């Protein structure tokens, strides 16, 4: 018998039955569904709806169902519409009609969103752990070559020298923001909807705060209509995962470029690359390309849910059943992408001589302008004079540091031979000594801070 079959005189059309069913997707909520039902059963006993014996029988039935799921022995029935009906159907098989009391004062509307919130809370914790692992790999990679010079680019054009440490750590901080965003999402997700019933709140005299405590929610929802249709937590989760995907995609894109023969700044480990079926010489960065590609599906999942939510009237609408698939998919996507990326970074080799070789003298141009500024020339004029110097070096087909004093002085008398020291890359790096910049001291400070943050992250994540 269907949970809601009483008023119907006809069986559901077979295709509609299939169309309506969400069990293939939401069976993943079994643990949360049972947990929430156990808490609800306890509440029902406090109102006298369940006797002690009935509570005992429901509790042991639910625990047995949990075991069946864990041991992969749970047998789904063809008519199981979703996880909630499947669990209740099985409970009835196990303990008989008492099972029918469990749904007193509750609706699948507050039940499903309670389960889903519990699931998202856990999913955030798992992703945070994965991100911390990747952060650790980035840090250990950074510490090996913190001060190793490499060319820095803007607009993908050579700009100024930076160091490998600065570059690799530039991918650490976005991930830190991702962790913080997931934690903030957890705070807002940790609000119990149970007790909102279908839309107007349960008529039972239950203590919602007590249920919240039992299920580890921080607080209870304030408005029953809002609570049953609020999927902001799912949308936020999908935004977090999209942005993580974008961060990983940007890291991937740069590593793809740097591993190309033309750059050869990095060497990807064989274990993280694949070959071509046609061209024997090829070593393809498929892992990175897939990571870059998967950001598209993560953004797609966010777009899908936002579009589903847009324009929904008050309270529960069946459209909301479409909420889980994108969330599960985005979680699964990152739950493999992040560890793969950690492995790739831990096996990454860098080619320090190739990076140094690409730092051309022209990268000292800003420092030469600063040199003129030190001689009290306004920066705008200095910029213009150095521009002319660069153009002269191009005209004479001589690198900037090979221009003679006489040649330089055709542009400005302020250029002297002492300019040569500015072409030393180390000098250029050390001149930038503010927090976040390229000097040895600044980089060490940044690395130390990153290390402190990672150990704070480690401390903050609660053991499962």
Are 151 and 419 spatial neighbours (Cβ–Cβ below 8 Å)?
no
Q: Toward ligand ARG, which CB reaches closer, 80 or 133?
A: 80
Residues numbered 62-101 forming contacts with ligand ARG, rule: CB under 6 A? 82
Smallest Cα–Cα separation from 414: which of 367, 372, 368, 364? 372
| Bridge partner residues of 191 (DSSP) | 219
* Minimum distance, C-beta of residue 116 to ligand ARG, in the bound complex (Å): 8
Stretch that binds ligand ARG, among 108-116, 119-127, 296-304, 416-424 (CB under 6 A): 108-116
* C-alpha span between 276 and 289 (Å, rounded): 14
User: Is residue 316 close enough to count as binding ligand ARG by CB under 6 A?
Assistant: yes
Are 117 and 190 spatial neighbours (Cβ–Cβ below 8 Å)?
yes
Q: Toward ligand ARG, which CB reaches closer, 85 or 130?
A: 85
Q: Toward ligand ARG, which CB reaches closer, 82 or 178?
A: 82
Q: Toward ligand ARG, which CB reaches closer, 115 or 133?
A: 115
* Minimum distance, C-beta of residue 131 to ligand ARG, in the bound complex (Å): 28
* Minimum distance, C-beta of residue 3 to ligand ARG, in the bound complex (Å): 9
Residue matched to tokens 């969330």: 327
- From 276, 314, 404, 455, the catalytic residue: 276
User: Is residue 35 close enough to count as binding ligand ARG by CB under 6 A?
Assistant: no
The answer to whether residue 155 is catalytic is yes
* Minimum distance, C-beta of residue 123 to ligand ARG, in the bound complex (Å): 17
Are 365 and 159 spatial neighbours (Cβ–Cβ below 8 Å)?
no
Residues 6+ apart with CB under 8 A from 330: 237, 238, 241, 242, 245, 297, 298, 301, 302
Determine which residue in the list 50, 134, 169, 320 makes contact with ligand ARG, applying CB under 6 A: 320
* C-alpha span between 104 and 180 (Å, rounded): 39
Q: In 3-state terms, what secondary structure has residue 216?
A: coil
- Cα→Cα distances 86→6, 34, 91, 228, 447, Å: 18, 11, 9, 21, 52
Determine which residue in the list 108, 191, 292, 294 makes contact with ligand ARG, applying CB under 6 A: 108
Q: Toward ligand ARG, which CB reaches closer, 107 or 135?
A: 107
* Minimum distance, C-beta of residue 93 to ligand ARG, in the bound complex (Å): 20
Consecutive H or E run containing 157: strand 157-163
Determine which residue in the list 49, 98, 109, 330 makes contact with ligand ARG, applying CB under 6 A: 109
Task: Give the residues lining the site for ligand ARG (CB under 6 A).
Answer: 22, 26, 82, 108-109, 112, 316, 318, 320-321
Catalytic site residues? 155, 276
């Amino acid at each position: 018998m269907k949970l809601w079959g009483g008023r119907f005189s006809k069986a559901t059309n077979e295709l509609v039955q299939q169309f309506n069913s969400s069990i293939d997707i939401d069976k993943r909520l079994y643990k949360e569904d049972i947990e929430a039902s156990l808490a609800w059963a306890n509440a029902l006993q406090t109102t006298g709806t369940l006797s002690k014996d009935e509570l005992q029988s429901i509790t042991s039935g639910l625990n047995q169902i949990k075991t069946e799921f864990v041991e992969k022995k749970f047998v789904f029935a063809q008519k199981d519409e979703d996880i909630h009906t499947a669990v209740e159907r099985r409970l009835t098989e196990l303990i008989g009609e008492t099972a029918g009391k469990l749904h007193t004062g509750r609706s699948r509307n507050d039940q499903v969103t309670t389960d889903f919130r519990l699931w998202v809370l856990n999913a955030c914790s798992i992703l945070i752990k994965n991100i911390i692992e990747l952060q650790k790999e980035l840090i250990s990679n950074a510490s090996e070559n913190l001060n190793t010079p490499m060319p820095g680019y803007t607009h993908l054009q050579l700009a100024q020298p930076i160091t490998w440490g600065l570059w690799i750590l530039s991918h650490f901080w976005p991930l830190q923001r991702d962790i913080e965003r997931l934690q903030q999402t957890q705070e807002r997700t940790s609000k119990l909807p149970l007790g909102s019933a279908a839309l107007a709140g349960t008529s039972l005299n239950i203590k919602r705060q007590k249920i919240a405590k039992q299920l580890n929610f921080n607080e209870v929802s304030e408005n029953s209509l809002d609570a049953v249709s609020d999927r902001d937590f799912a949308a936020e989760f999908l935004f977090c995962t999209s942005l993580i995907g974008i961060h990983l995609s940007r890291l991937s894109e740069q590593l793809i470029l740097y591993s190309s023969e033309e750059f050869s700044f990095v060497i990807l480990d064989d274990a993280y690359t694949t070959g071509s079926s046609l061209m024997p010489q090829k070593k393809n960065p498929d892992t990175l390309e897939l990571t870059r590609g998967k950001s598209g599906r993560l953004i797609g999942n966010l777009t899908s849910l936002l579009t589903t939510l847009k324009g929904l009237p008050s309270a529960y609408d069946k459209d909301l059943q479409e909420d889980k698939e994108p969330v599960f998919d985005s979680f699964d996507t990152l739950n493999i992408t992040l560890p793969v990326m950690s492995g790739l970074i831990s096996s990454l080799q860098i080619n320090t001589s190739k990076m140094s070789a690409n730092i051309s003298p022209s990268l000292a141009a800003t420092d030469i302008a600063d040199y003129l500024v030190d001689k009290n020339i306004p920066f705008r004029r200095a910029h213009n004079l150095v521009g002319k110097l660069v153009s002269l070096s191009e005209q004479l087909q001589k690198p900037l540091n090979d221009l003679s004093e006489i040649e330089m002085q055709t542009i400005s008398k302020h250029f002297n031979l002492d300019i040569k020291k500015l072409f030393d890359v180390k000098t250029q790096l050390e001149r930038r000594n503010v927090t976040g910049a390229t000097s040895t001291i600044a980089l060490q400070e940044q690395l130390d801070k990153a290390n402190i943050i990672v150990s704070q992250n480690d401390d903050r994540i609660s053991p499962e």
